[in-house]
Amino acid sequence: MNFLKILVRNLVHGPSTVPFPFGPAWTPERLRGRIVFKLDSCTACRACEQVCAPGAIRFDKTPDGLRFMMWHNTCVFCGLCEFYCPTDAIRQSDDWHMAHATADQFTMAIREVIPYVSCTACGAKALASSPNPVGITPPFTPEEIEQQRNLCPGCRKKALAERGAAS
Amino acid sequence: MLEMLTTPIAALLFPGGLFALAFGLALKGLDRRLAARLQGRVGPPLAQPLFDLVKLARKRTMVPDIAAEPVFLGAPLIGAVSMLLCAALVPIPGVYTPDTMLGDLLVLLYLLTLPAVVLMIAGSASGSPFGAIGFSREMALMLAYEGPLVLVVVAVAMRTGLGQGDLISFSLSEIIAYQQTHGAFLFDPVMWPALLAFLAFYPANLGIVPFDIPEAETEVLEGPLLEYSGPALGLFKVMSALKAVVVLGLGVALFYPLAPDGALGLLVHLAKLTGMMLIGITVVRLSCGRMRIDQAFSFFLKWPLALSLLSLAIVALA
Amino acid sequence: MTTLLEKITDQARALAVRSPWIYRINAGSCNGCDVECATTALIPRYDVERLGCQYCGSPRHADIVLITGPLTTRVKEDVLRVFAEIPDPKVTVAVGVCPISGGIFRDGYAVNAPIDKYLPVDINVPGCPPRPQAIIEGIAQAIAIWRERL
């Protein structure tokens, strides 16, 4: 007669349905949802492209710079890119409202270009990516990051050597 | 003039027809709603069966290549019409007594087998293997439950007939009149075995868990209904809604027809049907699993048959 | 006279749109998305019956089709056949990233994704698998599209 107890309990306690399509939905704190890309922090190390299992992240060389492309309709939300990103430039938000009409499916992508600049020290063409902070002590200050961004790889090394820390 | 119209009105408007259909759909809606509540869900709106019907009416009916088209499309029509007639044959105590010209208990019994027959025909005409499985299961189940049903009805009829000095009385109005003077059979210990047998017959005839074996969704994908779509499927829904009203009404007439006259009587009748639907069907279907066809077959040949025979023997000897 | 007829038709459509029946097609899915679809059907927490939905076993009863899986070569013909048996008007929802792009199986030798090369897809619900709420959201969007087609 256990099932009768369950039926009566359900009837007395009322439905346990969440109000979702008609009301707000609860979202777990650490839900791995929509990818957020912060162009300013990207070091162009391309680690995310390497670890992305379904190949949702791609870097292309374009005349303007290095283009970061990511399509949510291929992403499996595994979180590897977030894990391997040295600067938290790629992050997963807890936004899961991603159902969309097929006509809009290519708006579900992130396309950002890391532009080329000419190095402020030597004038060579260089990517304006954020410097890699791994192993840098003391850590970069924001001014230093801006300074490094406008240098070519060779001049970055030089600047780091002058700073007195091993790169 | 008015007398000529009573029969069509009975079949199309008041006790049968539109009224029975509306009430049957409301019963189905209540059933789904209560089922959801018992499972801890919110459930669909009460008018959901009506929405389903309107939706089905607007869809396209597809006929499979290998189906026998006239039979395939005619079967649901026959089923719905037979249930429409049936609904006019079931009395509402104190409010409506069917014209004996239309028929009585025996005609009702024959008409009640039609939906099962129609399902069998539909299943075999659709040419689908699942339909064929549904056909064979429906046939086995029907063989199992029709026997106890007839015995229950004979027991009730004999009880009435013997009480009145005849041997047997197959008149629903006499059965109701007898119970109104001598007390309902529901409280008559002699009739309790028959009542139990009838309770088992309910879900089997309505195709509801634990006896929804022919139309089992998870096993044979709704069996005979598999190939139906659009208005034809809607007619089957109409048929099952009407069948719920008819079978529940038959139960009320056989076992508990006590009701005041007039509008109050109608309300009492509807309340009885609703209560029976919710307790006898919704709760039962939620608390049981589906039986296998062989289990259902042996169950019916064991318990309801024995109980109805027992009841018949007691009635005959008493 | 015609306005009355139009009014009745509109009313009927408003009623009919509240009864979308759902059919699932597994086009070679890994079963993750199917489990989530079953979750929306069976678990009281995500009661999809509130929208009038009902999971049906027969493609001929369906109004909204949920397709999971990247359309493997093995099931391709069968999926297309079952899809053709669903009476119009119907709305297709691609559940999970596999039918949309192939997801993790993207360049597999036996995978024919994206599925919209073979059949019209109306709603995408990305995720691997998507949350039950995301599926319900997709179904709600599909109902809106279905209303236009009915």
Chain C CB contacts of A100 under 8 Å are 123-124, 141
C-beta neighbour count of B153 within 10 angstroms? 21
* Pairwise CB contact (< 8 Å): A3 & B37: no
Closest CB to B38 among A11, A16, A17 = A11
* Closest CA in chain A for residue B41: A15
Q: Which whole-number Å values give the CA distances from C137 to A108, A119, C20, C45, C95, in the listed order? A: 16, 49, 14, 15, 11
Q: Which residues of chain B have pLDDT under 70?
A: 1-6, 10-11, 13, 94-95, 100-102
Residues 252-311 of B with CB under 8 A from A: 283, 286-287
pLDDT at B4: 66
The average pLDDT across C73-101 equals: 89
Q: Would the ipTM clear 0.95, i.e. be above it?
A: no
DSSP string, B162-183: HHHTSS----HHHHHHHHHHH-
Each residue's pLDDT tens digit, B202-252: 888 888 878 887 777 777 777 788 888 888 889 988 998 888 888 888 888
Handedness of CA C24, C27, C33, C38 (dihedral sign): positive
Handedness of CA B146, B152, B158, B160 (dihedral sign): negative
The confidence band for C93, taking pLDDT boundaries of 50, 70 and 90, is very high
- Is residue A123 within 8 A of residue A148, CB to CB? The reply is no
Q: Round to whole Å and give the CA distance between A81 and A68.
A: 13
- Is residue A51 within 8 A of residue A140, CB to CB? The reply is no
* Closest CA in chain B for residue A7: B38
- Identify the structural domains of chain C with CATH numbers, from first to last: 20-149 (3.40.50.12280)
- Is residue A76 within 8 A of residue A54, CB to CB? The reply is yes
* Pairwise CB contact (< 8 Å): A17 & C50: yes
pLDDT at A167: 45
Q: Round to whole Å and give the CA distance between B150 and B156.
A: 10
Q: Round to whole Å and give the CA distance between B232 and B229.
A: 6
Q: Looking at the complex, does the CB of residue C84 fall below 8 Å from at least one CB of chain B?
A: no
Type of residue numbered A122 = C
List the pLDDT tens digit at each of the 167 positions of chain A. 788 888 888 888 888 888 877 878 888 888 888 899 988 888 888 888 999 988 889 999 999 889 999 988 888 888 899 999 888 889 888 888 888 888 888 888 888 898 888 888 888 888 888 888 887 778 888 888 888 888 888 888 888 888 765 44
Closest CB to C57 among B43, B59, B217 = B217
Chain B CB contacts of C89 under 8 Å are 59
pLDDT at C92: 92
Chain A CB contacts of B39 under 8 Å are 10
Distance linking the first and last C-alpha atoms of chain C: 22
Tokens of C98: 């596999």
Q: Round to whole Å and give the CA distance between C70 and C103.
A: 8
Nearest chain A Cα distance for residue B93, angstroms: 33
According to DSSP, the β-strands at C123-125 and A125-127 are: unpaired
